[in-house]
Amino acid sequence: MNKFIINKKLILFLAAITIFSLCIFSCGTIQKKTLFDNKQFNMQFDGKYNVTFVSQGYFRAVTDFEIESGILDGAIVNTSNHTFFIKGSVLENGHFSFKSIQSSFGASITASGKIKQNSIVEGHYKVGNRNGKYYGFKYSDSDKITTRYDGKYSISFHLGDQQTAITEIIIKNGAFQKNIQTITSEIFPIQGRINDQGTVILTTSIGDHLTGIAASGSIDKNRKVAGTFFTNQGEKGSFSGKLIR
């Protein structure tokens, strides 16, 4: 009788071990498959993005960040030269969020937005009590440079009816070169990106008189340029131009 009880207990113990092992391995397989599927899906948003931040009509910051396997990583440097190191993730429907994991002056940023089908990025952010919007786009894949819009362009900038600058801008290997010089002789070093659809994000460093601009626009199939810009003094203007060489 005791031998039977011992054998019965042994059988039950072995059965429990078997069921537990099957559960561990099957659950692990399902989890691995789910993570793999999500990774594959999120990879459609992978690449480098150029994003401009505007709050209360003022240009606040511009940044490049990268999404890899659905994980967003980068740093934001604002017009006061403060840095936010950011981290975030992208969901399957293109919605994403990020927040600062560290900053150079104690404040933090939280943001949410969406990557649309044309790789345009739009969203809202908050720093302290200040809310703002940001916009941008995917300007290239990690292994691709857009060169189809390379050339020299003549561009004019207007605030209302007043022309504030007319300059020549060179795009080479998908990046903007040269500087913008205003009619008052201010110099603005250009930082710009363009994607394969001709969408333009153009920003400048701080100028001679602590001003700068952030612009968005497009270049059409006839190589005509048009768009709008913000200054970090709260002004909104327009720019236009064309390919000259």
What is the amino acid identity at position 206?
I
Residues 63 and 127 in one domain: yes
Residues 200 and 168 in one domain: yes
Residues 55 and 127 in one domain: yes
**pTM score, whole prediction:** 0.59
pLDDT in tens, the chain (245 residues): 544 444 555 555 545 544 444 443 334 333 333 333 444 445 788 888 888 888 876 778 878 888 988 899 889 888 788 889 999 999 888 899 999 888 877 789 999 999 987 778 889 999 988 899 888 888 766 556 788 999 999 999 999 889 988 888 889 888 888 777 777 777 777 777 787 888 887 776 554 444 667 788 889 999 999 988 877 666 788 999 999 98
Residues 135 and 56 in one domain: yes
Sign of CA dihedral 101, 105, 110, 116: negative
Per the listing, tokens 């009590």 go with 129
Q: How far is CA 57 from CA 106, 156, 215, 235, in A?
A: 24, 21, 13, 7
**Which residue intervals of the chain are DSSP H helices?**
2-42
Residues 195 and 157 in one domain: yes
| Residues linked to residue 55 through DSSP beta bridges, in sequence order | 58
Q: How far is CA 79 from CA 63, 88, 211, 232, in A?
A: 11, 22, 9, 8
Comparing CA positions, the residue from 178, 186, 189, 182 lying closest to residue 164 is: 182
Structural domain including 206 reads 151-243
